[in-house]
Amino acid sequence: MQRKEITVLGLGYIGLPTAVVMARAGHHVKGYDAKREVRESLRKGKIHITESHLQEAFTEAADRRCLEIAESVENSDVYVICVPTPFCEAEKGKTADLSFVEAAAKEVAGVLKRGDLVILESTVPPHTTAGITKLLSEKSGLSEQDFYTAHCPERVLPGNILYELKHNDRIIGAADPKAAEMTKELYETFVAGGRCYICDDVTAELCKLAENTFRDINIAYANQLSMICESAGIDVFRLIGLANKHPRVSILTPGLGVGGHCLAVDPWFIVEKYGEEASLIQTAREINEKKPVWVKEKIADELGQDKGKKIGILGMTYKPNIDDMRESPSVILAEALKNDGYQVYGCEPNSHGDTIGGIRIVPLDEILDMCDYVVVALAHDEFKSEEVRRKIIERPHYDCIGLLRS
């Protein structure tokens, strides 16, 4: 495939690694982010997110001038939209906030020309790609037959993104078979260890939601089991360990809840579109959202009315060993305890900030010395040593993840 001029819109946890991988595959990539501070940081050569090996890869691509940071969306052959799709609270429940996707599409429409390809990577509800195609046509003055659109949802694991962008299978959906083939040809220039599968756009949209919802439902089962075992007075981690001795059973480990921009958000996009037909999905989502509140109530029952107690939360990100705080159950728990009047502190080795969500962040040694009660929220590598575990066990604590049992 000949070298393409590509603009990637949105340089966050997905867009920046995607831009780097495309540039390293031989394309000329222009990255654009709506946040000026992101553009300025990248122009100075410093990435603004924590991701394994990404800084080195970005530096290499920038030094070779195959990746540039643009001040605006510029003319290209291909446009890849990698902006957030959070949910918003509405009268009928949680609904997808497509404002970032629509804003990016309008930017593209300003420079779109005949024959261009627009790829939507952002996770979206079914039929969004068709709506974006219509918006591009309206804003550019081109007919929908003059350009090509496709949906290729990301499906990577934070902390291992560069590897998974090259080795995971990709799902490419488009209403126009030619658009799908064009996208497949492009992605095959860097998807070296996986395969690219073609389908229609709605199937691709729902496929990504189904993947994350599957995981959310399984986590909800484990989290609900933890609540049941608490009432039954038994150890949920021992129960799951024994149940998993069955050759066809593999129950996940319960935790504080479910966070992140995918699992905690995407199931609501299905519920939004399909209502009662998605009742199981909605129930699972509600169970996982309830878990931090349930843990807060257990801690409050144990501490009673002594609001002077200092509570330390170990781990404030949404999963171990990353810096992403989006939809973090730890932050939800910390804020709930603080609102109840407790003195709450957080420990987050992957953050350089002094506060997270209004919670003061302190070093590990300090939080273990100063706090009367400790909540083990995540299995960060820094929390796994025998010395740290011993210090936690010596004081009142709540182990959300079974770290202290291993």
| Catalytic-residue membership of 347 | no
d(CA 392, CA 202): 49
Write down the catalytic residue from 66, 152, 196, 262.
Answer: 262
Q: Is the pLDDT of residue 406 over 70?
A: no
Q: Please state, rounded to an integer, the average pLDDT across all residues of the chain.
A: 96
Where do the structural domains in the chain lie, given as residue ranges?
5-199, 210-405
Average pLDDT estimate for 192-213: 97
Alpha carbon distance 227, 224 (integer Å): 5
Confidence category of residue 5, pLDDT binned at 50, 70, 90:
very high
262 is catalytic: yes
Q: What does the pLDDT read at residue 112? A: 98
pLDDT of 1 reads 73
**For helices 236-243 and 201-232, what crossing angle results, to 10°?**
120
Residue 4 has pLDDT above 80, yes or no: yes
pLDDT of residue 50 exceeding 90, the answer is: no
Identify the CATH number of the domain defined by range 210-405.
3.40.50.720
> pTM of the full predicted structure?
0.92
pLDDT at 23: 98
| Architecture of the 5-199 domain | 3-Layer(aba) Sandwich (3.40)
The number of C-alpha atoms within 13 Å of 52 and in the hemisphere containing its C-beta is: 12
Same fold, 5-199 and 210-405: yes
Check whether 159 has a pLDDT greater than 90. no
Q: What is the pLDDT of residue 190?
A: 97
Question: Which candidate in 4, 208, 296, 319 is catalytic?
Answer: 208
Residue 92's pLDDT band (cuts 50, 70, 90) = confident
